[in-house]
Amino acid sequence: MRRLRNVKIVATLGPASNDYATIRALFEAGADVFRLNMSHGSHDDIRARHQMLRQIEADTGTPVCILADLQGPKLRVGTFANGSEELVERGRFRLDLDPAPGTAERVNLPHPEIFAALEPGSSLLVNDGKIRLEVADCGPDFADCIVTVGGTISNRKGVNVPDVVLPLAALSEKDRRDLEFVCELGVDWLALSFVQRPEDVEEARSLARGRAAILSKIEKPAAVKAYDAILAVSDGIMVARGDLGVELPVQAVPPIQKRLVRGARAAAKPVIVATQMLESMIDSPMPTRAEVSDVATAIYEGADAVMLSAESAAGSYPIEAVMTMNNTAISVESDPVYRDIIEASRAAKRASVADAIVAAAREIAETTPIKAICCFTQTGKTVSLVARERPRVPILALTPLVETARRLSLTWGTHCVVTAPQERFKGAVICAARAALSDGFAQEHEQIAVVAGVPFNVRGTTNILRVAPCDERLIYSGDPE
């Protein structure tokens, strides 16, 4: 199924999108990648959604990308004897390891690792930052705090600690079980929550053992500081603005978003912009103008994908939310200013033969009537390099590996086709021409650019570029060899 845009749409599945008909409608409305949120739903729920997605893939003949989002270590207070208490500004409140029900003076925080990292002056944010505490005194089993922003605190509300790097593994025991489950199930990407350091990513990679690509969610100040090192060991990035906006001043998030997106683009790694993009569409069939502008901004920045969370998982208008993103993307990408911005922000990088080949393909597409850049790939690296160039024409990703095709469905501008293995470049050209014609990217006698590596089926050998016509005599001349 050909999309009329380059940016991809990620839709989260949940109670509002939990049957074949709805998920199929989301796909047809424009969803390219489906997110399974491991924070919600049992393994049986996740398995059922996975099976429906693979059925849609079989029914449509289009690779479908599945992203499993691990919960990460959730830091929460305990429970209160009365269910909730009111904290008053400039009042005192204690967090401790005592499991007794909470009162107006104290509550259990069952995370000794937090107390080990705290110092006087550290900030603690409760319930997405609605309540703010400043540590006045602390020890290995308590923190006496001053309430700087009051409010109602209730059972099991989340706690954020923005000022320190916590001695926490990015993967809890639940995450480890979930990781093994979804890898065995067969997902294409693993999203890691609350990454703080590159070692968190390397741990997940060792557990995944190549069964899924690793996407790091940047949602903590420590991750922003260590971004370059985290990016280097990740396969992709998610700008998770929810917790990022809790732990940092909200005005700091937009420039951070731009820096993270540009860094991922320069590294030729896909980047998703996520959280509250069309939040009002949880309850309304129409988004606000500000939300549409937010989606458009991410597209103008050159993000590979924009994401729906509760809008498609639990909202009343999941299909309309996908359609809104789809229509916004088409409108933005048809704006001449979009192309000016994308090309002005292109990072020139010519460190290898492959870099030079894909840059040449993009330049040819800008100066001649090329209809598509067709890339043969085993790992997806060639396609990622072409996508980094943000060419003006579509990218056809041709691979004999369905796993590669699925993962590349997250990458900007790609249309993924699973092909028969090729042994010679002539056969590859014929295969590319057939795909361009059959999927509507070119008409007979129009030209395509073909990028590949010789010898075939050897990783990391991108070394050849050819401009070829979609010529009927070439395509139907019999045995391509």
pLDDT given at position 475: 56
Q: Assign residue 61 a region: left if phi > 0, alpha if psi is -120 to 50, beta otherwise?
A: left
pLDDT at res. 481: 40
Which CATH number do you get for residue 203?
3.20.20.60
**Residue 35 bears catalytic tag:** yes
Of 115, 131, 160, which residue sits at a domain end? 160
Residue 61 and residue 141 share a domain: no
The catalytically annotated residue of 3, 47, 76, 92 is 76
Whether 244 and 336 share a structural domain: yes
Quote the number of domains for the chain.
3
| 253, part of any domain | yes
Choose the catalytic residue: 8, 217, 220, 407.
217
Instruction: Pinpoint the alpha helices (H) of 267-398.
Output: 289-300, 310-313, 318-333, 336-344, 353-367, 381-388
Cα distances (angstroms) measured from residue 227 to each of 90, 213, 224, 259, 437: 36, 18, 5, 10, 42
Enclosing domain of residue 408 = 353-475
pLDDT at site 479: 45
Domain boundary among 289, 316, 342: 342
- Any domain includes 79: no
Residue 177 inside a domain? The answer is yes
Active site residue 297: no
Task: Say if residue 181 is in the same domain as residue 264.
Answer: yes
Residues 228 and 263 in one domain: yes
Concerning whether 217 is annotated as a catalytic residue, the answer is: yes
What DSSP character marks residue 345? T
Residue 84's DSSP bridge partners are 154
pLDDT at 473: 62
> Does residue 278 share a domain with residue 424?
no
Instruction: For residue 302, report the phi and psi dihedrals to the nearest 5 degrees.
Output: 95, 20
Cβ atoms within 10 Å, residue 78 = 20
- Selected catalytic residue, list 62, 275, 414, 462: 275
Q: Of the candidates 342, 364, 399, which is a domain's last residue?
A: 342
Tens digit of pLDDT at every position of the chain (481 positions): 789 999 999 999 999 999 999 999 999 999 999 999 998 889 999 999 999 999 999 999 999 999 999 999 888 999 999 999 999 999 999 999 999 999 999 999 999 989 999 999 999 999 888 999 999 999 999 999 999 999 999 999 989 988 888 888 779 999 999 999 999 999 999 999 999 999 999 999 999 999 999 999 999 999 999 999 999 999 999 999 988 988 898 999 999 999 999 999 999 999 999 999 999 999 999 999 999 999 999 999 999 999 999 999 999 999 999 999 999 999 999 999 999 999 998 876 667 888 999 999 999 999 999 999 999 999 999 999 999 999 999 999 999 999 999 999 999 999 999 999 888 888 889 999 999 999 999 999 899 999 998 877 777 778 899 999 997 665 555 444 4
Look up residue 413 and give its amino acid: G
**261 and 180 within one domain:** yes
**DSSP secondary structure letters along 318-331:** HHHHHHHHHHHHHH
The pLDDT score that the predictor gives to residue 74 is 82
Asked whether residue 386 is assigned to any structural domain, the reply reads: yes
Structure tokens at 366: 């800008």
Question: Both 66 and 204 in a single domain?
Answer: yes
Please tell me whether residues 258 and 357 are part of one structural domain.
no
Is 408 in the same domain as 301?
Answer: no
Residues 113 and 132 reside in one and the same domain? yes
236 found inside a domain: yes
137: in domain: yes
**185 and 296 share a domain?**
yes
**Are 360 and 449 contained in the same domain?**
yes
Neighbours of 443 (CB within 10 A): 10
233: in domain:
yes
Of residues 5, 35, 265, 388, which has the active-site annotation?
A: 35
In a domain, 3, yes or no: no
